[in-house]
């Protein structure tokens, strides 16, 4: 007579196999690809070190600075408007471009500008630095950025 019911030996092996599978699964539970990076992030610019690890708000400004605290926002200014600004101020405008980390302003560059091409050159340099900063702040693995 053929016995098709599992014997104690089969039940023991099945129990051992299930036990090994459960233990293996439990031991692999902590082996995920999630990594936590907690190193401080710093930006180095002109011999100054800025800790930007906990920055919540990052912004930038580009402005023409005039005596008497009257500044003009130069973000998205067009060529004709800028040239008109130059004509109104003896063909020279002091331009200041800066980053703000939360409430800390960092002047990236500030200089007198006397033509649209000089202003465009200044903007290209500023835009490159902005892109570097954005990529740096978004990358959890990077810990230090040196701006030119």
Structural tokens at position 20: 């090994």
Domain assignment present for 142: yes
pLDDT for 31 equals 60
Q: Which of 60, 145, 65 is nearest to 105 (CA)?
A: 60
Domain assignment present for 28: no
Domain assignment present for 30: no
pLDDT for 37 equals 59
Domain assignment present for 52: yes
pLDDT for 67 equals 83
pLDDT for 18 equals 72
3-state secondary structure of 120: helix
What is the domain extent for residue 122?
42-146
CA separation for the pair 89, 96 (Å, rounded)? 16
pLDDT for 68 equals 78
Residues 6+ apart with CB under 8 A from 30: none
pLDDT for 145 equals 94
3-state secondary structure of 126: helix
Q: Is the distance from CB of 145 to CB of 48 less than 8 angstroms?
A: no
pLDDT for 3 equals 56
pLDDT for 95 equals 97
pLDDT for 62 equals 96
Domain assignment present for 20: no
State the total domains in the chain.
1
Domain assignment present for 32: no
Count each helix (H run) and each strand (E run) in the chain, helices first. 3, 7
In angstroms and rounded to an integer, the radius of gyration of the C-alpha atoms of the chain is 31
pLDDT for 21 equals 73
For the chain (148 residues), the mean pLDDT of every run of 10, in chain order, is 58 71 66 65 91 90 88 94 93 94 93 96 96 92 90
pLDDT for 140 equals 86
Structural tokens at position 46: 């002109």
Domain assignment present for 123: yes
Domain assignment present for 131: yes
């Amino acid at each position: 007579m053929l016995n098709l019911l599992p014997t104690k030996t089969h039940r023991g092996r099945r129990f051992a196999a299930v036990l090994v599978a459960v233990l293996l699964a439990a031991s692999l539970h902590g082996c995920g690809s999630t990594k936590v990076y907690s190193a401080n992030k710093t930006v180095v610019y002109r011999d100054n070190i800025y800790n930007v690890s906990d920055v919540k708000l990052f912004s930038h400004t580009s402005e023409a600075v005039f005596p008497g605290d009257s500044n003009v926002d130069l973000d998205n200014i067009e060529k004709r408007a800028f040239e008109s600004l130059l004509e109104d101020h003896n063909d020279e405008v002091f331009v200041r471009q800066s980053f703000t980390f939360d409430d800390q302003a960092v002047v990236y560059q500030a200089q007198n500008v006397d033509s649209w091409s000089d202003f465009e050159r200044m903007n290209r340099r500023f835009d490159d630095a902005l892109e570097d900063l954005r990529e740096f702040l978004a990358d959890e693995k990077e810990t230090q950025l040196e701006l030119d």
